[in-house]
Amino acid sequence: MDFDFLIKGIIIGFSIAAPVGPIGVLCIRRTLTEGRLSGFLSGLGAATADASYGMMAGFGLASISNFLIGQQIWLRIIGGIFLLYLGIKMFITKPSDEEVSSKRHGLIGSYISAFFLTIVNPMTIISFAAVFAGLGIGTIQTDYFSSLILVMGVFVGSGLWWLTLSSTVHVLGKRFDTKKLGWVNKVSGIIILIFGFIALASI
């Protein structure tokens, strides 16, 4: 039944998004310093990238998937460098500069940066390809409508995780003053830098 595909998609999307990685750190930091909407839109950018990769796997677009996997060295270099840039920027940014930075880059910038970081991660498409193959999705036995329902579920599941995370952090973050937000920037910057170095070291 199509409803079963929707539920499976939601579970897959939630499960793949939940492990805390660079996007999770980015969402937490932006929620604390720029507001819940900025944090949620960062997660939504990642959810869109997840759904895009889910669509490739679900519709059996092997040629595109294989091309992206074949380019994983360059993708890791690009993603690693971008993570280093974000990490340094977070570390040196003062809480007093957050409002100015948020207005300059806007909420769309939060969405695009998270989408970019997720889309250049070759492990995302590999994860979806493995999970979908295990479910028999993306084969000739699966019709396109069911695959579309599954991909919609992936987006909803991933978005649900980011909504939960940003909302929870927003509630807890009300206790943070300027000094604590300054430490959030430094700790987040260091963690993002570590992820960046790991991405480059894995080449």
DSSP codes of every residue in 66-113: HHHHHTHHHHHHHHHHHHHHHHHHHHH--HHHHHHHHHHHHHHHHHHH
The structure tokens 């840039």 sit at 85
pTM for the complete prediction?
A: 0.76
- Mean pLDDT of the residues in the chain: 78
Which of the pair, 61 or 203, is modelled with greater confidence?
Answer: 203
Written as one letter, the residue type at 155 is: F
Rounded distance, CA 101 to CA 165, Å?
A: 22
Rounded distance, CA 57 to CA 106, Å?
A: 32
Return the structure tokens found at 32.
């604390």
How many domains, the chain? 1
Going by C-alpha positions, the residue among 180, 200, 166, 130 that lies closest to residue 46 is 166
pLDDT per position as a tens digit, 177-189: 667 777 777 888 8
For residue 93, what is the DSSP state?
-
Q: Average pLDDT in the 33-39 region?
A: 86
Give the model's pLDDT for residue 107: 72
Give the model's pLDDT for residue 62: 57
Give the model's pLDDT for residue 40: 92
Q: How many CB atoms lie within 10 A of CB 68?
A: 19
Please say if the pLDDT value at position 99 is more than 60. no
- Range with the lowest mean pLDDT among 13-22, 25-34, 57-66? 57-66
Phi-psi category of residue 165: left, alpha or beta, with phi > 0 → left and psi -120 to 50 → alpha: alpha
Q: How many CB atoms lie within 10 A of CB 140?
A: 6
Give the model's pLDDT for residue 149: 85
Give the model's pLDDT for residue 163: 93
Give the model's pLDDT for residue 181: 74
8 Å CB contact between 134 and 70: no
Please say if the pLDDT value at position 16 is more than 60. yes
Please say if the pLDDT value at position 76 is more than 70. yes
Give the model's pLDDT for residue 162: 92
Q: Average pLDDT in the 88-113 region?
A: 69
Rounded distance, CA 188 to CA 118, Å?
A: 18
Its domain, for residue 124, covers 2-201
Q: Radius of gyration of the chain from Cα atoms?
A: 18
8 Å CB contact between 118 and 124: yes
